[in-house]
């Protein structure tokens, strides 16, 4: 399978090049040259397949023969060592719990898959791979833990100072070893901009074997498609249309779902549910894409003012606005609405949402006002304990912290404070 740049379909590379480069030389994002439709017997047997078997079949279709099947199976099995259960919250409304991995966030799937691929590629060369990643919270912890002590790799995590939760910060600033945390005086968008600038700096690329672990890397998106298929395998109701409500920041999760739909998964509609950083919902209303500086909210992992994966969404629909609008509905919510949803569900259903899942839930409720005979699934992207202070204030009850998070909180933070000017990052990377 070849992969092309969203800025130029004639720029095509192998899987290895796409994964290691992360970002195309022309600043575009890589997409698979074709998205195969899975055979009918795969969908007929979906309920009988394990999560690992589902993931392997999907990955094999998207990757082809670029790596040996035995190696791909090993990587998929390494990626999926925990479940993603569907939990019914209300009649025909389900939470897809994606927080049962080692850092209790959906990004464990992508980070573990990417670390497996890059570890495989690193073993085939002499030069160490340096991974740059910008995070608004969960990406940093998932990537840092996924790559911790992976031979032949070094990870640099850039995060906005004071804009991630204490628990998220501890998960990637306390590891040491091959993990370095850079605390940037700015926003997530500043961190993302710095990473992109590094990839266009010829001197840095000559000195370091640079790649990215953000959702701009195609290897992050591939495993995120797995759990859409797995969610369908758990549904007993087959007579109703299925919609997914996706709490969205950089829009990697929505893009992965759209790829799953292109592969034949019968998803009726996607709901792009955001906080006040409503760039894509505003586009779906106005046809105008207007990035702006992100604003800080209690759903901080979605505080993105210029979502990178929007380019992939447009590419999938060949920039056809009407086609995009047919498959995606957008809603956005304030912190007050998010708090109200967490409080209401806890009191009425005894179920604890995190702020991001609460926004996904609200998206379904709004969609259901005008659509019937539908099953709705919202993505619960992180364990509520990762946002314990926010959640506890909302539900007025203690959130039990899992043991693995408690262990991180007892460790010492190690980070390097840095201004958001590229020259500072450049100087740091040159000195490595």
Q: Which residues are catalytic?
A: 107
The CA dihedral of 253, 258, 263, 269, to the nearest 10 degrees, is 120
Give the residues across from 90 on adjacent strands: 93
Give the residues across from 242 on adjacent strands: 375
Q: Could you give the CA distance from residue 172 to residue 165 in angstroms, rounded to a whole number? A: 12
List the one residue out of 221, 199, 226, 202 whose CA is nearest residue 212: 199
List the one residue out of 415, 427, 429 whose CA is nearest residue 144: 415
Give the sign of the dihedral formed by CA 95, CA 381, CA 170, CA 136: negative
List the one residue out of 56, 49, 159 whose CA is nearest residue 116: 56
141, two tokens? 């912890």
Q: Which residues contact 391 (CB under 8 A, 6 or more apart)?
A: 342, 352, 353, 354, 355, 384, 385, 399
Q: For residue 154, what is the DSSP state?
A: E
Q: Could you give the CA distance from residue 297 to residue 358 in angstroms, rounded to a whole number? A: 13
Strand order in the sheet with 374-380: 86-90, 93-97, 374-380, 241-247, 269-274, 328-332
């Amino acid at each position: 399978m070849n992969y092309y740049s969203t800025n130029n379909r004639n720029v095509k590379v192998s899987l290895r090049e796409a994964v290691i480069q992360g970002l195309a030389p022309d600043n575009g994002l890589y997409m698979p040259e074709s998205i195969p439709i899975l055979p009918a017997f795969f969908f007929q047997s979906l309920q009988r397949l394990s999560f690992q078997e589902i993931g392997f079949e999907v990955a094999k279709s998207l990757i082809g023969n670029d790596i040996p099947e035995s190696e791909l199976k090993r990587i998929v099995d390494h990626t999926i060592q925990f479940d993603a259960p569907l939990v019914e919250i209300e009649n025909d409304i389900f939470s897809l719990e994606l927080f049962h991995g080692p850092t209790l966030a959906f990004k464990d799937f992508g980070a573990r898959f990417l670390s497996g691929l890059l570890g495989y590629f690193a073993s085939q060369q002499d030069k160490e791979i340096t991974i740059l990643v910008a995070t608004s919270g969960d990406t940093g912890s998932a990537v840092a833990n996924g790559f911790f002590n992976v031979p032949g790799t070094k990870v640099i995590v850039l995060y906005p100072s004071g804009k991630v939760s204490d628990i998220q910060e501890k998960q990637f600033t306390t590891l040491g070893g091959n993990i370095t945390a850079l605390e940037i005086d700015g926003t997530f968008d500043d961190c993302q901009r710095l990473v992109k600038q590094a990839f266009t700096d010829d001197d840095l690329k000559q000195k370091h074997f640079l790649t990215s672990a953000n959702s701009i890397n195609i290897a992050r998106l591939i495993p995120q498609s797995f759990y859409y298929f797995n969610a369908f395998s758990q549904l007993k109701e087959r007579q109703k249309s299925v919609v997914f409500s996706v709490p969205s920041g950089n829009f990697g999760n929505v893009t992965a779902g759209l790829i799953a739909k292109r592969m034949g998964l019968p998803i009726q509609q996607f709901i792009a549910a955001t906080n006040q950083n409503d760039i894509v919902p505003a586009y779906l209303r106005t046809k105008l894409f207007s990035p702006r500086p992100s604003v800080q909210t209690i759903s901080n992992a979605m505080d993105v003012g210029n979502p990178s994966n929007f380019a992939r969404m447009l590419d999938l629909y060949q920039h056809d606005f009407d086609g995009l609008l047919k498959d995606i509905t957008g809603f956005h919510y304030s912190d007050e609405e998010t708090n109200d949803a967490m409080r209401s569900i806890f009191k009425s259903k005894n179920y604890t949402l995190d702020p991001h899942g609460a926004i996904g839930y609200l998206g379904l409720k709004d969609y259901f006002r005008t659509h019937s005979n539908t099953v709705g699934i919202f993505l619960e992207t992180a364990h509520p304990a990762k946002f314990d202070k926010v959640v506890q204030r909302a539900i007025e009850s203690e959130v039990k912290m899992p043991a693995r998070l408690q262990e991180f909180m007892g460790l010492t933070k190690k980070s390097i404070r840095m201004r958001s000017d590229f020259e500072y990052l450049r100087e740091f990377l040159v000195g490595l």
